[in-house]
């Protein structure tokens, strides 16, 4: 297993919108926001299996996510917004009121 740097793009998903009626504390919402998607080829390269946890680290913090393969460009990962992604964000909002959430350079370490 080895660590590798990736570009992280975080965003809200349509599934999150549907789950908001169930509540952010629901098991389903928590599972969604504690998961990340990356290219299967990238997973193989760093020794990460489907369903395995990986530590994602930025200059601001780190969080652990359950990994799944998906249609994601090589060298990129996707994570739905949620409490875990907040641990990765800095406080700078560039005047928008929301921290920058696209194009972060992150390290992914299989657990």
C-alpha to C-alpha distance for 74 and 88, rounded to whole angstroms: 21
Radius of gyration of the chain (CA): 14
Under the banding of pLDDT at 50, 70 and 90, the label for residue 98 is low
Domain 4-110 has CATH 2.60.90.10: no
**pTM summary value:** 0.84
**68-81 pLDDT, tens per residue?**
999 999 999 999 98
* CA distances to 11, 14, 28 from 22, in Å: 19, 14, 9
Three-state SS at 44: helix
24 or 2, higher pLDDT: 24
Structural domain boundaries in the chain: 4-110
Three-state SS at 46: helix
């Amino acid at each position: 297993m080895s660590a590798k740097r990736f570009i992280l793009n975080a965003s809200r998903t349509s599934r999150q919108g549907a789950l908001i009626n169930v509540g952010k504390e629901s098991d389903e919402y928590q599972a969604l926001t504690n998961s990340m998607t990356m290219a299967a080829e990238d997973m193989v390269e760093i020794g990460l299996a489907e369903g395995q946890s990986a530590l994602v680290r930025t200059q601001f913090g780190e969080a652990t996510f359950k990994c799944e393969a998906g249609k994601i460009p090589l060298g990129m990962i996707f994570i739905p917004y949620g409490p875990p992604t907040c641990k990765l964000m800095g406080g700078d909002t560039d005047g928008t009121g929301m921290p920058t959430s696209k194009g972060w350079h992150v390290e992914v370490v299989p657990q």
